[in-house]
Amino acid sequence: MSVSATSTISTPIIANSAARILQAAMALCFGAIIVGFVGFSHIEIVHNAAHDTRHANAFPCH
Amino acid sequence: MSLFRSIVFTAALTGVIVGVSVSAVQFAGTSQLIAKAEVYEKAGEVEPQAITTSPMVDAHVHDAGHDHEEGAWEPADGFERMAFTVAANMLTAIGYALALCGLIAMRGKPVTWREGLLWGLAGFACVMIAPMLGLPPELPGTPSAPLGDRQLWWIGTALATAAGIGLISFKRKPWAALVAIALIAAPHLIGAPAAPQGMHALAPEALEHQFVAAAVMTSLLFWALLGSLSGTLFNRFERTT
Q: Mutation target for A interface from B92, B119, B217: give the one with most A CBs within 10 A.
A: B92
Average pLDDT score over residue span B163-179 = 96
* Chain B from 214 to 233: CB within 8 A of any A CB: 214-215, 218-219
Question: Quick one: which of A57, A2, A16 has its CA closest to B88?
Answer: A57
Write the CA distances from B36 to B69, B211, B221, integer angstroms: 22, 11, 23
pLDDT in tens, B62-89: 444 455 555 788 888 888 999 999 999 9
Residue-range domain boundaries for chain B: 1-44+80-140+205-240, 143-200
Q: What angle do CA B115, B118, B121 make, to 5 degrees?
A: 155
Average pLDDT score over residue span B2-25 = 96
pLDDT in tens, A18-39: 889 999 999 999 999 999 999 9
Cβ atoms B206, B139 nearer than 8 A = no
Report if residue A31 sits inside a domain.
yes
Q: How confident is the model at residue B121 (pLDDT cuts 50, 70, 90)?
A: very high
Report if residue A4 sits inside a domain.
no
Report if residue A1 sits inside a domain.
no
Report if residue A6 sits inside a domain.
no
How far is Cα B52 from Cα B61, in angstroms, rounded to an integer?
8
pLDDT in tens, B5-14: 999 999 999 9
Cβ atoms B17, B90 nearer than 8 A = no
Structure-model confidence comparison of residues B53 and B38, the more confident one: B38
Q: Which of B26, B75, B151 shows the shortest C-beta gap to A60?
A: B151
Q: Say yes or no: B106 contacts chain A, CB-CB below 8 A.
A: yes
pLDDT at B199 over 80: no
Q: What DSSP character marks residue B20?
A: H
Question: Quick one: which of B64, B72, B68, B69 has its CA closest to B44?
Answer: B64
Q: How many percent of chain B have pLDDT more than 70?
A: 88
Structure-model confidence comparison of residues B73 and B173, the more confident one: B173
How far is Cα A50 from Cα B1, in angstroms, rounded to an integer?
33
Structurally, chain A folds into a number of domains equal to: 1
ipTM of the complex: 0.86
pLDDT at B118 over 80: yes
Half-sphere exposure of B71 (CA within 13 A, CB side): 0
How far is Cα B158 from Cα B163, in angstroms, rounded to an integer?
9
What pLDDT is recorded for position A10? Answer: 59
How far is Cα B17 from Cα B37, in angstroms, rounded to an integer?
29
* Chain B from 41 to 70: CB within 8 A of any A CB: 66-69
Measure A41 CA to nearest chain B CA, in Å: 10
Query: What pTM does this model have?
Result: 0.87
Q: Which of A28, A56, A61 shows the shortest C-beta gap to B26?
A: A56
Q: Say yes or no: B25 contacts chain A, CB-CB below 8 A.
A: no
Whether residue A50 and residue B131 make contact (CB cut-off 8 A), yes or no, is no
Domain around A27 = 14-57
Q: Mutation target for A interface from B41, B62, B85, B220: give the one with most A CBs within 10 A.
A: B85
Report if residue A22 sits inside a domain.
yes
